[in-house]
Amino acid sequence: MAVIRVHDLIPLRVLAARGTARTIGAALEAAMREGRGEVLLDFEGVEGLAPSFLDELLAILLEAASRTGNQLRRVVIGNPPARLSSKFAAIGRGRGLRFADRAGEGWEITRGTG
């Protein structure tokens, strides 16, 4: 599983803008290739996450999976800066992804709805 420390790449306390998510597109694609579809996004140091940022992040991950030929198998949001709300889960469902809260491990994102 490839690891990206989000705060190292985006040194902001609150991640809100879609354009901000786009700035780490190359790193996400490299991680998708290296991890063969499994990526850990460590949000340590981030205190807030907007739905628009998350939606764009998911779009980038799905695009990267397509470009690298690696199916998005599993993404873990480590040290999530917010609780897993129904709003975040709905964003995932809209992209054909399922969110699960893994206590102590963060959020797990996999393919499929449910």
Domain holding 79: CATH number?
3.30.750
Structural domain that includes position 103? 2-111
Output the tens digit of pLDDT for each of the chain's 114 residues.
Answer: 999 999 999 999 999 999 999 999 999 999 988 888 889 999 999 999 999 999 999 999 999 888 887 788 899 999 999 999 999 999 999 999 999 999 888 999 998 754
Question: What is the b/e burial string over 82-106, where b = at least 16 CB atoms within 10 angstroms of the residue's CB?
Answer: bebeeebbebbeeeebebeeeeeeb
pTM (predicted TM-score) = 0.91
What is the number of structural domains in the chain?
Answer: 1
- Tokens 């992209």 locate to 95
Q: What distances in angstroms separate CA 40 from CA 5, 19, 72, one per listed residue?
A: 8, 21, 12
